[in-house]
Amino acid sequence: MKPWLWLVVFVAACALVPVFGNNYALRLATIMCLYAGLALSWNFIGGMAGYPSFAAAAFFGLGAYVSAVLQSKGLPIGVTWAAAGLGATVFAALIGMAILHLKGHYFAIASLAVVEVLREVVNTAEDLTGGGMGMNIPLPGMPVDVQARLFFFAMLTMTVLLLAVTIVVSRSKLGFGLRCISQNEDAADILGIDTTFYKVAAFCLSAFGVAVIGAIYASWVQYIEPPDVFDILYSVKPLVMVLLGGLGTIFGPVIGAVIYLALEELVWRNFLTVHAAVLGGLIVALVLFLPNGIGAVIRDRTKRAAVRS
Amino acid sequence: MTALLELRNVSRRFGGLVAVNDVTLKIAEGEIVGLLGPNGAGKTTLVNVVTGVHPATGGQVLFEGRDITRVPPFRIARSGLARTFQIVQPFPKMTVVENVAAAALFAGRAEGMAEAFEAARRHLDFTGLGDAADQVASTLTLAKRKRLEFAKGLAMNPKLLMLDEVNAGLNSAEVEDAMRLIRKIADSGVTILIIEHIMKVVLSVSRRLLVLHHGELIADGLPEEVTNDRRVIEAYLGKRYAEKAGR
């Protein structure tokens, strides 16, 4: 029951932001939900199944472009988001069947290649996507502050949905099977686990989450271009967040996203010219000294405290 | 006699190397069969061929009369053919009971997680690992890890259990325990194929022996016949010894 309680606390805390916070806080909270959603999505394939995927940027860009193209054809915004999610899921199933038999570094490189291929495809399909010129997304006819709230709640809903799916999956046969695969895939196979199906399922869940978030992002920023939405940082950031928070755990990705965002903001403000280098250094230090994530440190502390008392 | 497992002219090549060459054999329901052979004879490869890990490059594998030569490993596992690994393969970060529950859930008859864990505890008690149920698998001693392999194999609810060198690395007391366990499993109605390179161990439980050498099946019969077979003695002790012994 405990994870569901934390989920409610998380939602309540986030929902208060638009009530009390200013526009800066609202924007920050939207980005936080975006990050948390990406991290939770990546956790399915990277954390639970143990496959180091760099394909997140591919799904992010795919979702953004599917939604943008459909919106430019006049479809309602919600329909385009759903279409982005479903499209990416089908795409991930096909790609997954092709590359998920690769292991370790080979899989990482193959998944990275998917990002590059999609970026080039979008770049060349000028008639549909505007190519390197990028795409303007039609403005929803409403006041700016209402828009800001709308996109914040859209991101929040998606994050909460992904968190709920994470809780359900981690307690189900699927989650159990994925844990087996991440620890010893050959043994999992010989114990009767359909490893291909399980891995593809994790990859699809991951793609669905990332793509819908990409679609909401596109509608939010209202202008997208290939180098922006197929940015490899969308693959790397969720990975770092999950490592920070705790690989394969339920709330680790959310905690990692919050920490990452806090670091990003602080470093950005205080080291304007060298922020990328400082942030990189911090991440390396954190991953080196806290290999199991900050969640593990908190768990160990509370355990030790419990033993002492 | 209806064969539970049947191999018809099975071969397995790795590039130019023929690891298993034209093997034909039958195992009937309820048997305890020993598969012997010196190191590198192709015993483990044969198990890998049967379980679908390295499918046969020639010939046919039949399980309960069904052709499983090209069936993927997870389906073979679900159909009642379990194996243990020579080099133990636990899920290291899971507890012992979780390890066994996975086997019960995915290959055994358990419906749902609760039932799988219940079955797992039962199999752990049966194999004498009940006390270690909540320990993390990587902290077990080798003897206990081998037992964990037994428990996992049993949890899969197998018709045929293939034990790949479950005694390697154990001391003689531990071997005795393992043999008692194997007899107990056989008594519960599971057909067993024991893969070993130590003859003494197999002789104490098997009523029929198969001997593999350089990937070929060189003997198949009662223990007395097989241990007196000239080719078996050659394979184990060399040609000169066989000539001196005058057999």
Tens-place pLDDT, residues A122-168 = 999 988 888 888 898 887 778 888 888 899 999 999 999 999 999 99
Do the chains contact at B53 and A191, CB–CB below 8 Å?
Answer: no
| B97 contacts in chain A (CB < 8 Å) | none
Chain A nearest CA to B226, separation (Å): 32
> What is the ipTM for the molecules in this complex?
0.84
pLDDT recorded at residue B1: 53
Between A185 and A309, the more confident residue is A185
**Mean pLDDT, residues B134-142 taken together:** 90
The per-residue pLDDT for range A156-200, each reduced to its tens digit, is 999 999 999 999 999 999 999 999 999 999 899 989 999 999 999
Q: Kindly indicate the confidence band of residue A308, based on its pLDDT and cuts at 50, 70 and 90.
A: low
The per-residue pLDDT for range A84-101, each reduced to its tens digit, is 999 999 999 999 999 999
**Poorest-pLDDT segment among A37-41, A158-162, A282-286:** A282-286
Nearest CA in chain A to B95: A180
pLDDT recorded at residue A145: 82
Interchain CB contacts (distance < 8 Å): A and B: 70
Long-range contacts, A78-86 (Cβ 8 Å, 24+): A80/A215, A80/A219, A81/A154, A81/A212, A81/A215, A81/A216, A81/A219, A82/A212, A84/A211, A84/A212, A84/A214, A84/A215, A85/A208, A85/A209, A85/A211, A85/A212, A85/A215, A86/A208
Between B196 and B26, the more confident residue is B26
The per-residue pLDDT for range A211-260, each reduced to its tens digit, is 999 999 999 999 999 999 999 999 999 998 998 888 888 888 999 999 88
Chain A nearest CA to B187, separation (Å): 23
**Mean pLDDT, residues B196-214 taken together:** 83
The per-residue pLDDT for range B33-42, each reduced to its tens digit, is 999 888 888 8
Whether the per-residue pLDDT at A293 is higher than 80: the answer is: no
- Facing A193 at nearest CB: one of B74, B93, B108: B74
Do the chains contact at B90 and A177, CB–CB below 8 Å?
Answer: no
The Cα A194–Cα B104 span in angstroms is 14
Chain A nearest CA to B205, separation (Å): 26
